[in-house]
Amino acid sequence: MFCGRCGVQLPDEARFCEQCGSQVALGSQEVPLRLRGRRRRRAAIIVVSLLATAVLATAMSIWLRDGKGSSKRGPVDGVSGKTEHADRRFQICPDSSTRLLTQGDLKGRSADDIDHMRNEIYARHGWVFDRPQLQRWFNSIPWYHRARSNKEAASRMTELEKRNAEFILKYLRGTGYRTR
């Protein structure tokens, strides 16, 4: 027998609920309908919570896997050894390794952004920076992998990248921006 008010199970001979003190109606053998609804709601909340947790865990594992997987440099083709950066989210000018830059690419940008574009070209090959704030920034970027030396990093750069870095440097010097 169950209390019609609070739903506590009672001994068959009980006349009052031991939990809430209400009088027990005769024939209160089944769980009251009101409590069945509560149990169903609780069960539904638990099921929805478990499903949401499973979806969130799956999404996080995919995000972490893709975040780490896409940040690695891999060969574009198996022959040339050229590398491609799949993770372009942290790059100001991701195509500065694949095409010659023009003044149009630089106009309208701050001198700091343009300097960052230049250093980005070097960072793609693991350049070790003298400026601590630059080194900290690139250390925090998933695609940056520090080279053993700047000589090694420079040897990885293509002629196009070297030309773009030099073009950016000349442009900055023309604006009076002081670079290191």
Residue 78, domain extent: 74-175
- Tell me which residue has tokens 């609804």: 37
Which residues 6+ apart lie within 8 Å of 14 measured at CB? Answer: 1, 24
The residue assigned the tokens 């293509």 is 158
What parts of the chain have a pLDDT lower than 70?
Answer: 1, 26-38, 63-90, 179-180
- pTM, to two decimals: 0.50
pLDDT of residue 87: 52
Q: How many domains is the chain partitioned into structurally? A: 3
Contacts 24+ apart (CB under 8 A), 46-54: none
Structure tokens at 23: 């009088």
Residue with tokens 């003298």: 130
Which domain CATH number covers 82? Answer: 1.20.58.1690
Q: Both 158 and 83 in a single domain?
A: yes
pLDDT in tens, 98-150: 899 999 888 888 888 899 899 999 999 999 999 999 899 899 988 889 999 99
First-to-last CA distance in the chain?
Answer: 85
